[in-house]
């Protein structure tokens, strides 16, 4: 089926969304009113100015990827790659998630972000009982980052189940509930309480918060980490992700503890401990003195942690830390992350997750990758003279 080059249409999703390309191959307009004839859903061949003029382009239906995209669609026989992600027992439609503590409970962003398109939402961490959090100041902007000391301010699990979860489930994205506690029993009790609750896709164990008492204790000792993860696994049938702290000597050892405990995946990293000072008043700026640094400043640390963990364990990694651009995402994927979480970027640009999702297919096409999985962990490390480069992972097959 052919259309004039400047009137090219193609399917973007199973909801009937249609996109119209302009003369440069960019999405000019979308509509969800049109429906494709059954014969056209299998394969469209469009005569469009993409690469060689008049070259037939095979388009594969199945995912609303280019809506609102500002990037040119790449030339090639296929440019709708497979973005699905498997994190142990958890399967997601794409690798762009939003991080806990930076996206509220989702409804705060609903007017700006098409939540249905996200790979998953990790809402604000919940605890067994309500927490007031830390005294002000709670946030301080720094060079290339944000220092925060919120202190897990939340209304507790009961309020979450009553007021927040029903809305979250209705938004259409996978809901990965972040849980935290002051002791081993808290994590196990929360996992048991959430087990079997409709609409929860997985649990993320926040054993790495630097802003509460004992916040990183369980994530800094490999054996304690293993015990917490194993206890949660026994208490729930839900997939379990362990969120690890970079504030340790050997994060790979902690990741091995999480893996040995039965974690489906690890989320890497939580914030890096830091502080800010008003030298004129000779006082710390944060009410809690010490806080957690996030944003672009910590991306090199996060990449290093992903690299080290990739070489140590064979469970998937969710990368987080300083992700602002599509280049950041691709760096995490190539280094070994199967998915990423967008955090601080959402404060500066609430629609950052949508932009990254729009730009991802073109970035994969630049590597001639038919799927996201094809590039995960494909980093080539330097080799001795005369030897071929070696893959970054000694555990995973690439």
- b (16+ CB within 10 A) / e for 319-355: bbbbbbebebbbbbbbbbbbbbbbbbbbbeeeebbbb
How many CB atoms are located within 10 Å of the residue 310 CB? 28
Cα–Cα–Cα angle for 242, 342, 89, rounded to 5 degrees: 40
Q: Is residue 296 part of a domain?
A: yes
Catalytically active residues are 209
Q: Is there a single domain that holds both residue 71 and residue 91?
A: no
**What mean pLDDT is predicted for residues 251-259?**
98
Going by pLDDT thresholds of 50, 70 and 90, the confidence category of residue 118 is very high
Smallest Cα–Cα separation from 96: which of 332, 396, 292? 332
Q: Is residue 310 included in any domain, yes or no? A: yes
CA–CA separation, 44 and 189 (whole Å): 52
Structural domain of 67: 1-80
Taking a C-beta distance cutoff of 8 angstroms, is the pair 46, 10 a contact?
yes
Question: What pLDDT, on the 0 to 100 scale, is given for residue 385?
Answer: 73
Does 396 map to a domain?
A: no
Q: What is the number of domains present in the chain? A: 2
Residues 263 and 133 both lie in one domain: yes
Place of tokens 């193609």: 10
Are residues 185 and 333 located together in one domain of the fold? yes
> Per the domain annotation, does 320 fall within a domain?
yes
Residues 161 and 294 in one domain: yes
40 and 102 belong to one structural domain = no
Position 392 in a domain: no
How far apart, in Å, are the Cα atoms of 20 and each of 3, 40, 71, 178, 248? 11, 16, 14, 39, 50
Range from 127-131, 364-368, 392-396 that averages highest in pLDDT = 127-131
173 has a pLDDT exceeding 70 = yes
Residues 127 and 273 in one domain: yes
Tell me: do 103 and 244 sit in the same domain.
yes
Judge if 308 and 165 occupy the same domain.
yes
Q: Name the pLDDT band for 387 (thresholds 50, 70, 90).
A: low
State which of 80, 95, 126 marks the end of a domain. 80
How confident is the model over 53-65, as pLDDT tens digits? 333 333 333 333 3
Exposed/middle/buried for 385, CB within 10 Å: 0-12, 13-18, 19+? exposed
Residue 293 β-bridge partners: 147, 272
Residue 36 covered by a domain: yes
| 395 in any annotated domain | no
pLDDT in tens, 270-288: 999 999 999 999 999 999 9
> Which residues touch 280 (CB under 8 Å, ≥6 apart)?
none
pLDDT grade, residue 30 (50/70/90)?
very low
Return all residues near 111 (Cβ < 8 A) that are at least 6 apart: none
pLDDT band at 41 (very low <50, low <70, confident <90, very high): very low
pLDDT tens, residue by residue, 311-357: 999 999 999 999 999 999 999 999 999 999 999 999 999 999 999 99
CA-to-CA distance for 185 and 175, rounded, in angstroms?
23
Q: What is the mean pLDDT of the chain?
A: 82
Domain boundary among 48, 80, 112: 80
Calpha distance 17→15 (Å, rounded): 6
The answer to whether residues 65 and 138 belong to one domain is no
The pLDDT score that the predictor gives to residue 384 is 75
**Domain check: are 22 and 105 in the same one?**
no
Q: At what angle do helices 352-366 and 326-335 cross, to 10 degrees?
A: 60
Mean pLDDT of 93-113: 96
213 and 154 in a single domain? The answer is: yes
> Are 53 and 102 in a shared domain?
no
Q: What is the mean pLDDT of residues 114-134?
A: 96
Give 348-382 pLDDT, tens digit per residue: 999 999 999 999 999 999 999 999 999 999 999 99
Q: Would you say residue 200 has pLDDT above 60?
A: yes
Q: Which residues pair with 283 in a beta bridge?
A: 278
Query: pLDDT confidence of 113, banded at 50, 70, 90?
Result: very high
181: CATH: 3.20.20.70
Sign of the alpha-carbon dihedral angle for 23, 26, 27, 28:
negative
Go through the chain and tell me how many residues it has: 398
């Amino acid at each position: 089926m052919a259309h004039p080059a400047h009137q090219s249409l193609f399917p973007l999703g199973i909801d009937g969304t249609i996109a119209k390309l302009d003369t440069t191959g960019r999405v000019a307009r979308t509509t969800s009113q049109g429906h494709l004839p059954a014969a056209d859903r299998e394969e469209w061949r469009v005569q469009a100015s993409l690469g060689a003029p008049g070259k037939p382009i095979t388009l594969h239906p199945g995912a609303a990827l280019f809506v609102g995209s500002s990037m040119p669609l790449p030339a090639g026989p296929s440019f709708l790659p497979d973005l699905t992600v498997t994190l142990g027992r958890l399967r997601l439609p794409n690798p762009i998630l939003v991080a806990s503590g930076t996206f509220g409970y989702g409804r705060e962003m609903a007017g700006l972000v098409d939540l249905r398109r996200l790979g998953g939402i990790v809402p604000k961490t919940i605890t067994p009982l309500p927490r007031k959090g830390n005294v002000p100041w709670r946030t301080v902007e720094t060079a290339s980052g944000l220092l925060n000391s919120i202190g897990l301010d939340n209304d507790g699990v009961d309020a979450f189940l009553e007021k927040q979860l029903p809305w979250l489930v209705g938004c259409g994205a996978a809901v990965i509930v972040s849980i935290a506690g002051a002791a081993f029993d808290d994590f196990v009790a929360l996992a048991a309480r959430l087990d079997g609750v409709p609409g929860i896709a997985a649990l993320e164990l926040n054993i790495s918060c630097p802003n509460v008492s004992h916040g990183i204790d369980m994530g800094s000792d490999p054996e304690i980490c293993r015990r917490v993860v194993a206890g949660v696994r026994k208490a729930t049938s839900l997939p379990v992700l362990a969120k690890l702290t970079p504030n340790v000597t050997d994060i790979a050892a902690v990741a091995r503890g999480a893996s040995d405990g039965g974690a489906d995946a690890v989320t890497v990293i939580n914030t890096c401990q830091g502080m800010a000072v008003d030298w004129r008043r000779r006082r710390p700026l944060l009410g809690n003195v010490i806080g957690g640094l996030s944003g672009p400043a910590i991306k090199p640390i996060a990449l290093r942690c992903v690299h080290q963990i990739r070489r140590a364990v064979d469970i998937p990694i969710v990368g987080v830390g300083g992700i602002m651009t599509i280049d950041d995402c691709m760096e995490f994927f190539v280094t070994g992350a199967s998915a990423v979480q967008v955090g601080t970027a959402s404060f500066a640009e609430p629609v950052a997750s949508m932009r990254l999702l729009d730009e991802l297919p073109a970035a994969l096409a630049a590597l001639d990758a038919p799927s996201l999985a094809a590039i995960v962990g494909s980093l080539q490390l330097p080799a001795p003279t005369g030897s071929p480069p070696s893959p970054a992972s000694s555990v995973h097959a690439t």
